[in-house]
């Protein structure tokens, strides 16, 4: 996968995406990332990238010229096949809320460009002309699009084949199967008077799977009951949920 991030602050990405699993994926050529400074493409003397909004109002808006020129330069460097177009994501509080289904969808893309806005956002003509997706990571306001971009890159990258050692590492995680994850325990079996649930040390794999399923259902019901609305639940699942509702 090829990811290009258009940003005013490329240095923000050097720490979070140069460590652990993501760095290994980059070292193994599974992901190629580049963080491109939009300011470098401003055609004015002082490299100014923002201006007052037409119609008045508070704050400033990022101007279209440096964004368009930055984007066009990236496109020219991506060596895409004829007719091939990248997915262009603008990180925006007005966008669709990012979730695991979107992460899976984006992990299948070959080329992704992300645009990190600042101030009061970017000129609408940029969005109308080149953006394919507006994405938000939650109902709150951040100072810019860099942190959302990092979160999405991390979530998407780990789904790319070969990035994690085993597919099971993400296939049983929270949200992948639609439920929140069951509790996890490790050694020692007893710690400061607290014991690991006996079913997990029983060696009975069927009972362990049943326990995990029930714990996932219970946690999801208690914390994110909305996730259960569109799930296909077995008769046994429904019986368990009916029991805990009481």
pLDDT of 168: 45
Name the pTM for this structure.
Answer: 0.88
pLDDT of 171: 59
Tens digits of per-residue pLDDT, 45-81?
A: 999 999 999 999 999 999 999 999 999 999 999 988 8
From the candidate CATH numbers 3.40.50.150, 3.40.1280.10, 3.40.50.300, 3.30.565.10, the one assigned to the domain spanning 2-157: 3.40.1280.10
**CA 85, 24, 154, 66 torsion-angle sign:** negative
> How many other C-beta atoms can be found within 10 angstroms of the C-beta atom of residue 53?
15
> In this structure, what is the dihedral angle of CA atoms 223, 226, 231, 235, given to the nearest 10 degrees?
70
- Listed by start position, the domains of the chain span 2-157, 172-245
Domain 172-245: assigned CATH number: 1.10.1270.20
Q: Which residues contact 33 (CB under 8 A, 6 or more apart)?
A: 3, 4, 5, 13, 17, 26, 153
155 and 103 in contact (C-beta within 8 Å)?
yes
Residues of the chain with pLDDT under 70: 166-176
Give 138-144's long-range contacts (Cβ < 8 A, gap of 24+).
138/97, 139/93, 139/97, 140/93, 141/93, 143/118, 144/7, 144/8, 144/9, 144/116, 144/117, 144/118
For 5-44, b/e burial (b = at least 16 CB within 10 A) is bbbbbbebbeeebeeeebeebbeeeebebebbbbeebbee
| HSE-CB of 3 using CA atoms within 13 angstroms | 28
pLDDT of 169: 61
pLDDT of 167: 52
47 and 39 in contact (C-beta within 8 Å)?
yes
């Amino acid at each position: 996968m090829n990811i290009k991030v258009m940003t005013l602050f490329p240095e923000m990405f050097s720490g979070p995406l140069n460590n652990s699993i993501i760095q290994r994926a980059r070292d193994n050529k599974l992901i190629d990332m580049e963080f491109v400074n939009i300011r470098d493409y401003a055609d004015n003397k002082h490299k100014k990238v923002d201006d007052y909004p037409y119609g008045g109002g508070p704050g400033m808006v990022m101007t279209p010229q440096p964004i368009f020129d930055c984007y066009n330069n990236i496109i020219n460097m991506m060596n895409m096949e004829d007719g091939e177009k990248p997915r262009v994501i603008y990180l925006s509080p007005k966008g669709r809320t990012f979730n695991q289904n979107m992460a899976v969808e984006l992990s299948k893309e070959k080329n992704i460009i992300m645009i990190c806005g600042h101030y009061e956002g970017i000129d609408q003509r940029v969005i109308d002309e080149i953006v394919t997706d507006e994405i938000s990571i939650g109902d709150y306001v951040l100072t810019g699009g860099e942190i959302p971009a990092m979160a999405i890159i991390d979530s998407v990258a780990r789904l790319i084949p070969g990035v994690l050692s085993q597919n099971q590492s993400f296939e049983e995680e929270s949200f992948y199967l639609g439920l929140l994850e069951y509790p996890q325990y490790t050694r020692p079996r007893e710690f400061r008077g607290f014991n690991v649930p006996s079913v997990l040390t029983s060696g009975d794999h069927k009972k362990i799977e049943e326990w995990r399923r029930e714990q996932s259902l219970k946690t999801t019901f208690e914390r994110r009951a909305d996730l259960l609305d569109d799930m296909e639940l077995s008769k046994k699942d429904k019986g368990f949920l009916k029991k805990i509702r009481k």
